[in-house]
């Protein structure tokens, strides 16, 4: 009998931020295909005799093919992905490959880094009277700086660290104030979390020593970190 | 001794989509202050002798004051919120009130409706070659239609159902094609989930019979639902 596939979001990093259903599917699977950034404690939650595959060396097409082959061998497969499968998670591509192959699947959403990682640094991405709109971009994709600079509210860039000089200059050249508060959060929600806050004009220099994975947050909500981040540290 | 407060995201609706940490804090609390839209199965997870408060009749200022008073009585309090506390969850306001009162707190992020609800309808909010940008707005807030119409990628409106005629007309008047695929998902991730898909020009009429809570999704990614939603139903 053909197995099934669960596309499961593992959350932003901290292993306790997986969902109850996600952990339940993981504990019952025959095989887990996992992203490098997923916590090893989560991969360990799969049954001891489950097949474990680090997808790191594989191209997306190869991952798609692997999921299909494992399911056709009769295995119930968890595809364990950082964050949420459908927010820069390429879950749509895997889902289409499974549809094409006639394999039944289910998507188990996860906590995206989008709000969780800024939140762990004391930054609410929306806040009454400050921001009621969020624009999310992928640092690897094409960026329309004129449109981004004109968008009100908060800007969040996934995988934006490597392009931070270009991003900040592009926004300022198209009208965003150089004094706009900005933050970079590396390894968000993990013990290794590091946060740098600086005005947009200086954020690239200030964050030069941070390493990926990192999330970039730009907008007035960042200024709330001064009040909220200290208390979060006390409570942690 | 003063108690502590956890601001916990309950997720998009389905009670199994709370995080492992969120459920753990809930099972150990002395009091739970919950939103009306949170599943009753989750409220039931609090200890039998925990104080339960439906925050529905309370204004935000009153909720803030209640959290402070309960913690000062020595109770460990879970503030259980739909979705994520920091993405249209007003968690920032509660956090500031707790800081001001000197109460230690922690934020436990949740699965936002943002990607989970479209995902449950077979719509990935990002998809390679289709959308690498997402703009999130609050249907209750001020909207800049010129900027929204110019933003590439996917537009997601929280609480947008009551304003859907204005939203679609505003976007079309500022240059979005009336044929842009659009969807409204009511009660997403719950057994009562209903999905309506139509071109932007006709979405308000098509969704006229849906009731809140509902999420509006506009953009080419919506067309993936035709392929992905059927299979999701089979696997459910």
Q: Read off the CATH number of the domain in which B70 is found.
A: 3.40.1010.10
Residues in chain B: 236
How far is A44 from B206, CA to CA, in rounded Å?
47
- Tell me, yes or no, whether A69 and A121 share the same domain: no
> Quick one: A138 and A26 in the same domain?
no
Neighbours of A105 (CB within 10 A): 24
Q: What is the pLDDT along chain A (236 residues), one digit of tens a residue?
A: 899 999 999 999 999 999 999 999 999 999 999 999 999 999 999 999 999 999 999 999 999 999 999 999 999 999 999 999 999 999 999 999 999 999 999 999 999 999 999 999 999 999 999 999 999 999 888 899 999 999 999 999 999 999 999 999 999 999 999 999 999 999 999 999 999 999 999 999 999 999 999 999 999 999 999 999 864 443 33
For the domain that residue A215 is a member of, what is the CATH number? 3.30.950.10
| B24 and B49 part of one domain | yes
Judgement on whether residues A94 and A151 belong to the same structural domain of the protein? no
Same domain, A119 and A149: yes
Q: Which among B19, B123, B135 is the nearest to A16, CB-wise?
A: B19
- A16's CB contacts (< 8 A; 6+ apart) are B19, B20, B21, B24
Whether residue A230 sits in one domain with residue A126:
yes
A98 and A174 within one domain = no
Closest CA of chain B from A133, distance in Å? 5
A229 and A176 in one domain?
Answer: yes
Gyration radius of chain A's alpha carbons: 19
Residues 88-147 of chain B with CB under 8 A from chain A are 88-93, 95-96, 98-99, 104-112, 114-116, 118-120, 123-128, 132-138, 140-142, 144, 147
Q: Please state the domain count of chain B.
A: 2
Domain boundary among A89, A108, A127: A108
- A188 in contact with chain B, both atoms CB, cutoff 8 A: no
Residue A80 sits in the same domain as residue A158? no
What is the three-class DSSP state of A60?
helix
End-of-domain residue from the set A87, A108, A129 = A108
* One domain, residues B118 and B17: no
Instruction: Give the residue numbers spanning the domain of B179.
Output: 113-234
Which residues of chain A are within 8 Å of residue B106 when distances are taken between CB atoms? 232, 235-236
Q: Are residues A100 and A205 in the same domain?
A: no
Burial of A169 (0-12, 13-18, 19+ CB in 10 A): middle
Q: Taking Cα atoms as reference points, which of B196, B7, B20 lies closest to residue B83?
A: B7
Residues of B in contact with A20 (CB under 8 A): 16-20, 23
């Amino acid at each position: 009998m053909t197995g099934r596939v669960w596309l499961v979001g593992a959350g932003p990093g901290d292993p306790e931020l997986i969902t109850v259903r996600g952990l339940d599917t993981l504990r019952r699977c025959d095989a887990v295909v996992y992203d490098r950034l997923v916590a090893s404690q989560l991969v360990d939650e799969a049954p001891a005799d489950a097949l474990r595959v680090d997808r790191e060396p594989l191209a997306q097409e190869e991952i798609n093919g692997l999921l299909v082959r494992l399911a056709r061998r009769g295995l119930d497969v968890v595809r364990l992905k950082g964050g949420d499968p459908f927010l820069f998670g390429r879950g749509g591509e895997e889902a289409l490959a499974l549809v094409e192959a006639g394999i039944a699947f289910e998507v188990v959403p996860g906590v995206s880094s989008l709000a969780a990682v800024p939140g762990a640094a004391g930054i609410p991405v929306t806040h009454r009277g400050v921001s009621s709109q969020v624009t999310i971009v992928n640092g690897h994709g094409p960026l329309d700086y004129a449109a981004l600079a004109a968008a009100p509210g908060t800007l969040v860039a996934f995988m934006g660290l490597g392009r931070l000089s270009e991003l900040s200059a592009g926004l300022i050249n198209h009208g965003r104030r150089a004094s706009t508060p900005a933050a970079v959060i590396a390894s968000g929600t993990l013990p290794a979390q590091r946060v740098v806050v600086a005005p947009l004009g200086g954020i690239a220099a200030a964050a030069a020593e941070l390493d990926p994975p990192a999330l970039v947050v730009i907008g007035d909500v960042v200024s709330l970190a001064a009040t909220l981040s200290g208390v979060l540290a006390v409570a942690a």
